[in-house]
Structure 1
Amino acid sequence: MEFDQLRYFLALSTRENFTRTAAELGISQPALSRSIQKLEEELGQPLFDRRARAVTLTDAGQLLQSRARQVLTLVDETKAEISDDGRSGRIRIGAIPTIAPYFLPELLGRFAEEFPGASVIVREQTTDLLLKAITQGEVDLAVVALPFPAKYIEIEELFAEELFLVLPPGHDLIQKTSIRLTDIEPLPFVLLDEAHCLSDNIVSFCRNRNFHPVSVERTSQLAMVQELVALSHGISMIPAMARDVDGSGRRVYRSLSGKKPTRTIAAVWNPYRFQSRLLEAFKDRLRVYAAEKATRHGDG
């Protein structure tokens, strides 16, 4: 049993398709099929139930999936610890979709300039999937929004940012000198689907003030929320970091009067996993960058 076989097996167990997996691994489909077949022959058990367009794990495959992750994580961490010079190596960073495109690019650019020998792999997923990846050692650090239920994970708050009301051009509320929650109570909202914690932040803020927003549309992309607002499908609330990069002029952002809706951005990692010097260096740069964001948005 070879490490590459286990890596191929894990990739296929996630993607559940030989063609897509082979393409992403950069190998031919026959080569991937031979690797899986040899692994099954060695173990004396089928690892996948093969169907027309997809494969699913057998009971034996599910057991191997768990063990393979443990083995490869141990190997990767051992290599990293032995060769840990604090300047080179690989770190795996995760972020939720409402943070990744707005927060990470500048931070990653700065880090790449300072650490040209480092390789940073970025994973953009919802909070629950990132927390699972952190626990399993598939991601070294993730940038997420609080709150969330989690055990055995280190959480470091970075900064809080305001959620701005976003309106289509020409909306009646734009003319008001101050906009209260009661002004938007009867209006339809465009929200992200329930997999995204930003919607929880918005709904929780409103519920705490005895107001439940009426959602007329839900989508999986924050950019689509902004686009639907521009097309007058409804209104919404958008994080400051997303507002800051919207130079389209097709939407109007306003701050609510009174207590502002906010969300808290945090870094999370698994303290029981090996923390390389390179990862610690990334944490330090992340803290500095987050402090800049906090100052920019009037927090702290």
Structure 2
Amino acid sequence: MEIRVLRYFLAIAREGSITNAANFLHVTQPTLSRQIRELEEELGQKLFVRKSHSMTLTNEGMLLRKRAEEIVSMVDKTEAEFSSMENIIGGDIYIGGGETDAIKLVADVVKELRNDYPDIHYHLYSGNAADVTERLDKGLLDFGILIQPADISKYDYINLPAKDVWGVIMRKDSPLAQKDSIHKEDLLNIPLICSRQAMSQERSKNEFAQWFGEYFEKLNVVTTFNLVYNAAIMVEAGVGYAVTIDKLTNTTESSSLCFRPLEPRIESGLNIIWKKYQIFSAPAELFLERLRERFA
């Protein structure tokens, strides 16, 4: 299985037809068709459902697409790392993390490093803790930013000097907006929009389950999310109340939304993590040095 053929496969999956993919790749349609047939024969699986003017992925094709994207991404990252060895002031750094206001601390380090090394480029990936650690373990990320609680026992890490405050985002015309803070009893019998990570954690490690106590199983969770931006749109539309952290959504005077903290207060610490015994590219090593100077 060649990387070139995987790129061909991904192009067809993205473009939806042999014709469009051939134009994008600047290869002939017969060449592209032959390569995909040979790939299907090699794998012993049909990868596409072929129609008169389009091609859609089979279940097997969707599995290969996920794996091919990871493989191609790893190859591109490896090539970039070796290329950067020729010149220490250039290269790529891959950072993943959940949505948090603490990214400002990392942004300050990036800005400082760019002043000295303007040819270093940064690639940000947004996801929950499971998404970030999976990509970190596969070598697709150099660093991850995790919001506590999270299992960081198998990683090296630096504690970031910041705390995320948990609360509820709601419309300003909602009854709860009249309160200064939100208690667990306030959240019973109302539609809630909650973080998928928070709802899926083990009960013993779940801050929300511990905060809600006996009320946790009685919550009316109508929607889950992993990006607060989308959750805020749901709130604005009147779908429910979003339980999330502060400063990720516009809740200023000009907004129709407001934020109220939970009481008793829940604050989450943050860590920037990387794999133990990680061999970094030169740019990533420089970035880690600056992180340690600033926060360690």
The alignment's TM-score, normalised by the length of structure 2, stands at: 0.68
1:45 corresponds in structure 2 to 42
Counterparts of 2:14 and 2:178, CA distance in 1: 57
Task: Work out the CA distance in 2 between the residues paired with 1:57 and 1:207.
Answer: 38
Find the aligned partners of 1:282 and 1:30 in 2 and give their Cα distance.
Answer: 40
1:184 and 2:187 are equivalent in the alignment: yes
Equivalent residue, structure 2, for 1:226: 232
Question: Do the aligned partners of residues 99 and 206 (structure 1) sit closer, same or farther apart at CA in structure 2, a change above 3 Å counting?
Answer: closer
- AA in 2 matched with 1:79: F
Distance 1:21 1:152, change over 3 A: farther
Q: Which runs of 5+ in 1 are unaligned?
A: 292-300
Q: Deviations over 1:182-216 (max 9, x none)?
A: 33334331224x3xx24458x93342141213212
RMSD of the TM alignment (CA)? 4.7
Q: Output one character per residue of 1:222-266: Cα deviation in whole Å (capped at 9) or x when no partner.
A: 1232233234332222212304x54442112122333x1233322
From the superposition, tell whether residues 145 and 32 of structure 1 become closer, same or farther in structure 2 (CA, over 3 Å). Answer: farther
DSSP-derived class of the 1:254 partner: strand
Matches within 5 A, 1:74-93: 76=79, 79=82, 82-83=85-86, 85=88, 87-93=89-95
> Which digits, 9 at most, give the CA deviation of each residue in 1:104-144, with x for residues without a partner?
99455555444311122223334323322211212111223
- Residue 161 of structure 1 and its aligned partner are, at CA, apart by 1.0
> Equivalent residue for 1:272?
277
The one-letter code sitting in structure 1 at the alignment partner of 2:230 is: M
Which of 132, 135, 154 in structure 1 is aligned with 2:134? 132
Q: Structure 2 regions of 5+ residues with no counterpart? A: 50-55
1:17 to 13, 19, 37: 13
Q: Deviations over 1:134-156 (max 9, x none)?
A: 11212111223233456743343
Q: TM-score, normalised by structure 1?
A: 0.67
Q: Secondary structure at the match of 1:278?
A: helix
Shifted more, 223-232 versus 177-186: the winner is: 177-186
Q: Counterparts of 1:11 and 1:263 in 2: how far apart (Å)?
A: 44
Query: Which of 195, 203, 214 in structure 1 is aligned with 2:220?
Result: 214
Question: Percent of aligned pairs with the same residue?
Answer: 13
Closer, same or farther in 2 for the Cα pair 1:229/1:71, shift >3 Å?
closer
Alignment-mate amino acid for residue 140 of structure 2: E
- 1:167 paired with 2:170, answer yes
Q: What letter corresponds to residue 132 of structure 1 in structure 2?
A: E
Distance in 1 separating the partners of 2:73 and 2:174 = 55
1:143 aligned residue? 145
- For these two proteins, the number of residue pairs brought into alignment is 276
